[in-house]
Amino acid sequence: MDEAGGCKTGVCRRLVATAVLLATLVGAYLGLAVGGVSWMALTGLAILLLAAGLLFVTRRCAKNRHGKDTVPVGAAEHSPSSVATAPQPNPSKALPEMPAQLGPYRLEQVLGKGAMGVVYLGRDPQTGRLAAIKTLALTQAFDADELVELKERFFREAQTVGRLDHPHIVTVYEVGEERGLAFLAMEFLSGGDLTPYTVADQLLPLPLVMSIVARVADALAYAHSHQVVHRDVKPANLMYEPVSDSLKVTDFGVARLIDSSKTRIGMVLGTPSYMSPEQLAGQKIDGRSDLFSLGVTLYQMTCGRLPFVAASMGQLMSRIAKEAPPDIRGLNPRVPACLAAVIERALCKDAGQRYQRGDEMARDLRACLQQAAGDVQH
């Protein structure tokens, strides 16, 4: 019901109450008049009550029209029909206005918002090819004195990543800068990332998990052989399309840019739970750090929880550096011993005892997959 209707309903209720009160007074008047009581006192009282009732009704309607004195917030929050339950836009979290074009790509819609910028869907008008345009607001994220060096590093890294050619690594079409926005035009992928499959009640079948992670390990082995370290391997950077069983690793090289500003590691990456001990310690890292992160991802996709959890960053860093994760088979008894062994090796604190190359980890995963399939047949 609208405000006017609500006000009218309230008026009717109050007028009826006033009429009843007046009828009572008239009846009392007649009765008392017969007994000889002065009618002037009764009439004055009736007029006073009527005026008070009309004044009360008028003020309530005025308040309702101006949005005051309405349903309490607590009641409105639990009322499915209440307008108060509708979410209101927060101007501080609004996306920036979408540019019409970046490079040769006409932007069609917003695909998402990342830590440093917005991802758009773009189309090359010459070829009709779709691309995911990842923007990085470098001028907003870094100080002027470090901006020149960071831009040079970003474009150098992006060009290196653009030369990677692997079936499980997203293709980078172009890199550029316009209006203070550095951007990467990448292959547009259907499907989504693997994050939804890291929750206990949405886990993928173990054979599929092993197959997916083996392909990621292959992609990392290829990148590492070209001196490219990902630095931010996690489910959110692994794109999977279930119908075609297609897997792509995304965001190569972006973490290198972020990693160069240590004051922004926690703010921008926001995923210390996947980092290796040496990466958290700020040491120089190589491909074995990526394999540790992949081990964390495999653990999470196998049992639905992270291997290292803490209430503070300091405690988390200590656990990653010193403590063994909970036994994976205690969390998921269906995990075969061979898969538990792969996870244990990938999560070794000492990089020298970890998998040294991604193809080694992929080989062990596929061997475990075959062994598990053989066990099922028998």
pLDDT in tens, 227-241: 899 999 999 999 999
User: For residue 4, is pLDDT > 80?
Assistant: no
User: In this structure, are 270 and 349 located in the same domain?
Assistant: yes
Q: Which residues contact 41 (CB under 8 A, 6 or more apart)?
A: none
Q: Domain boundary at 72, 90, 121, which?
A: 72
pLDDT at 251: 84
Q: Domain boundary at 56, 72, 88, which?
A: 72
| 55 part of a folded domain | yes
pLDDT at 11: 44
User: For residue 19, is pLDDT > 80?
Assistant: no
Give 365 or 5, the one with higher predicted confidence. 365
Query: Which alpha helices (DSSP H) does the chain contain, by range?
Result: 3-34, 39-65, 73-77, 138-141, 144-162, 206-225, 254-259, 277-280, 287-303, 313-322, 328-331, 337-346, 358-377
Six-digit token string for 245: 């069983």
**Range scoring the smallest mean pLDDT among 9-18, 161-170, 281-290:** 9-18
Six-digit token string for 277: 């001990």
User: In this structure, are 197 and 171 located in the same domain?
Assistant: no
pLDDT in tens, 205-258: 999 999 999 999 999 999 999 989 999 999 999 999 999 999 999 987 655 544
The pLDDT-based confidence of 301 (bands split at 50, 70, 90) is very high
Q: What is the pTM of this model?
A: 0.69
DSSP-assigned states of every residue in 235-282: GGGEEEETTTTEEEE--TTHHHHHHTSGGGIIIII--GGG--HHHHTT
pLDDT at 294: 98
Give 212 or 70, the one with higher predicted confidence. 212
Question: Which range marks the domain in which residue 336 is found?
Answer: 192-377
| 120 part of a folded domain | yes
Six-digit token string for 151: 């831009």
| 237 part of a folded domain | yes
Name the domain count of the chain.
3
Task: Compute the distance between CA of residue 246 and CA of residue 219 in angstroms, rounded to an integer.
Answer: 13
**How many percent of the chain have pLDDT more than 90?**
50
User: In this structure, are 269 and 355 located in the same domain?
Assistant: yes
CATH number at residue 122: 3.30.200.20
Task: Compute the distance between CA of residue 60 and CA of residue 43 in angstroms, rounded to an integer.
Answer: 26
Catalytic annotation, residues? 232
